[in-house]
C-alpha cells in the first residue's frame, strides 16, 4: 500500500450564501492549491462530491469544474456523495501508482429550499417516501428507540447539544419545546451552505508540501440496509465495521471529528467506534451546529488533519455519514510524524 497524506485544506460555511456553487468554490480551490505551491498542472487527479438533486439540475458538477479551471484538460471524476467518498476514490486512485497528487472538493447549498423535507426523497420509494416524513421526524423515531431502550438519556443528549454549541446550558436546552418528540431544536442540525477542498499527496511528495503531513493510516466505508424494517435503529453496524477496518482501536485517539447531525447520532457513533461516551473537548461534533449536505464529512477529515498540522493531535479519527439514520458511514484514521 502506498502512503498517502492530507497536506492542505480550505473550507467555508455560512447560514446562507448568495454565491453560486462556482463562485463559492473558486476561492477555496485557489487557496488550497496556493497554500502548497501547486498549479492545476501539478495535480494528477481531481475528484468532487456534490448532489445534482440538491442543485436542482443534472450534471451541475460539470459547471463547478469552472472553479478548477477549464484549461488545461484534467483527469477528473465525481461522486454523487459527500466529499469524504470523493476523497476515498482519490485515495484509491493514488494507490494505483500512476498519480502522486490529488485535489478533492465538495459543496452544498441547502438554503434555497426546505432540506429537512427534501431528504424524504432518499427514503424507500414504495413504503416510506410517499408518506413524506421530514428528516427530523425520521430521526425522532430513532431517538425514541434509543431512549426507551436505555441506550441514552435526555441528560446525555443535552450534554451533546451544549458541547456542539446549539445551547449554552441544560436550562436552555430543557426550555425548548419538542419539534419532533423527543427531539428539541438543539438536538437537530442547523443547516449551512458551504464547501471544502483538500490536497492529497503520496510519500515523497507530501513531505515537500507540508512540514507535518496528516498520513491516512486507515480508511474504510460500509453501508447498512436501506429499509427501516430490517434494521435495528439503535445500532449502526456499518460504523462499527468501518472503524474496525480503519484501525480506530489500534491506538489512542487524540481528536475525533464526527459527522453527527443529531445528538442521537453521536450516541450511536461513539458506542460503535468505541469512543468515550463522555468525550473531551477535542472529540467534537460540529455538523450539529452547521451541517452542509455533501460537504460535512469531508470537512471532518479536513478538521482532523488540521489538528495534526497544528500540533494538537498525533492521531485523529474522522467520520462521515450519508443517507438516513446513519445508513452509510466512512471512517478515516490520520496520524502525524513519519509515515
What's the sign of the alpha-carbon dihedral 173, 174, 177, 179? positive
Average pLDDT, integer, range 188-212: 95
CATH of region 4-113+190-209, choose from 3.40.50.1100, 3.20.20.70, 3.40.47.10, 1.10.3720.10:
3.40.47.10
Round to the nearest angstrom and report the end-to-end CA distance of the chain: 12
Q: Report in angstroms the alpha-carbon separations of 139 from 31, 115, 289.
A: 37, 14, 16
* 115 grid coordinates: 432540506
Over residues 243-278, the pLDDT tens digits come to 999 999 988 899 999 999 999 999 999 999 998 755
283-284 β-sheet, strand order? 76-79, 45-49, 101-108, 193-202, 4-14, 214-223, 328-335, 315-322, 255-257, 283-284
Mean pLDDT score of the chain: 92
In the three-class reduction of DSSP (H, G, I as helix; E, B as strand; rest coil), residue 259 is classed as coil
The count of other CB atoms within 10 Å of the CB of residue 235 is 17
CB 192 within 8 A of CB 13: yes
Q: Compute how many other C-beta atoms are within 10 angstroms of the C-beta atom of residue 311.
A: 9
Residue 141 preceded by cis peptide, ω within 30 = no
- At residue 287, the pLDDT reads 58
Lowest mean pLDDT among 204-208, 234-238, 249-253, 296-300: 249-253
Going from N- to C-terminal start, the domains of the chain cover: 4-113+190-209
**Backbone region of residue 97 per phi and psi (left: phi > 0; alpha: psi in -120 to 50; beta: other values):** left
Name which residue leads in pLDDT, 185 or 62: 185
pLDDT at 285 over 50: no
Encode pLDDT of 128-176 as tens digits: 999 999 999 999 999 999 999 999 999 999 998 988 888 999 999 999 9
Residue 339 confidence (pLDDT) above 70: no
Percent of the chain with pLDDT over 70: 96
Amino acid at each position: 500500500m502506498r502512503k498517502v497524506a492530507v497536506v492542505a485544506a480550505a473550507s467555508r460555511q455560512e447560514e446562507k450564501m448568495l454565491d453560486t456553487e462556482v463562485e463559492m468554490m473558486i476561492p477555496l480551490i485557489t487557496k488550497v492549491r496556493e497554500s502548497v505551491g501547486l498549479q492545476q498542472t501539478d495535480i494528477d487527479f481531481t475528484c468532487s462530491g456534490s448532489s445534482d438533486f440538491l442543485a436542482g439540475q443534472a450534471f451541475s458538477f460539470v459547471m463547478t469544474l469552472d472553479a478548477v479551471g477549464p484549461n488545461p484538460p484534467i483527469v477528473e471524476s465525481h461522486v454523487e456523495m459527500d466529499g469524504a467518498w470523493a476523497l476515498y476514490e482519490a485515495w484509491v486512485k493514488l494507490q494505483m501508482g500512476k498519480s502522486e497528487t490529488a485535489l478533492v472538493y465538495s459543496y452544498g447549498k441547502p438554503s434555497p429550499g426546505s432540506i429537512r423535507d427534501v431528504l424524504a426523497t432518499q427514503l424507500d420509494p414504495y413504503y416510506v417516501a410517499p408518506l413524506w416524513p421530514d428528516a427530523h421526524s425520521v430521526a425522532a423515531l430513532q431517538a425514541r428507540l434509543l431512549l426507551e431502550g436505555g441506550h441514552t438519556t435526555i441528560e446525555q443528549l443535552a450534554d451533546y447539544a451544549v458541547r456542539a454549541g446549539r445551547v449554552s446550558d441544560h436550562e436552555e436546552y430543557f426550555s425548548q419545546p419538542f419539534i419532533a418528540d423527543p427531539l428539541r431544536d438543539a438536538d437537530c442540525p442547523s443547516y449551512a451552505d458551504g464547501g471544502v477542498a483538500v490536497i492529497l499527496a503520496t510519500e515523497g511528495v507530501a513531505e515537500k508540501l507540508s512540514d507535518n503531513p496528516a498520513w491516512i493510516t486507515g480508511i474504510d466505508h460500509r453501508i447498512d440496509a436501506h429499509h427501516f424494517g430490517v434494521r435495528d435503529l439503535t445500532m449502526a453496524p456499518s460504523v462499527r465495521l468501518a472503524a474496525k477496518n480503519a484501525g480506530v482501536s489500534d491506538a489512542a485517539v487524540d481528536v475525533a471529528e464526527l459527522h453527527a447531525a443529531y445528538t442521537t447520532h453521536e450516541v450511536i457513533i461513539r458506542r460503535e467506534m468505541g469512543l468515550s461516551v463522555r468525550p473531551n473537548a477535542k472529540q467534537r461534533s460540529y455538523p450539529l451546529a452547521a451541517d452542509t449536505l455533501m460537504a460535512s464529512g469531508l470537512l471532518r477529515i479536513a478538521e482532523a488533519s488540521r489538528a495534526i498540522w497544528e500540533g494538537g493531535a498525533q492521531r485523529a479519527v474522522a467520520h462521515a455519514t450519508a443517507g438516513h439514520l446513519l445508513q452509510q458511514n466512512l471512517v478515516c484514521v490520520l496520524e502525524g510524524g513519519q509515515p
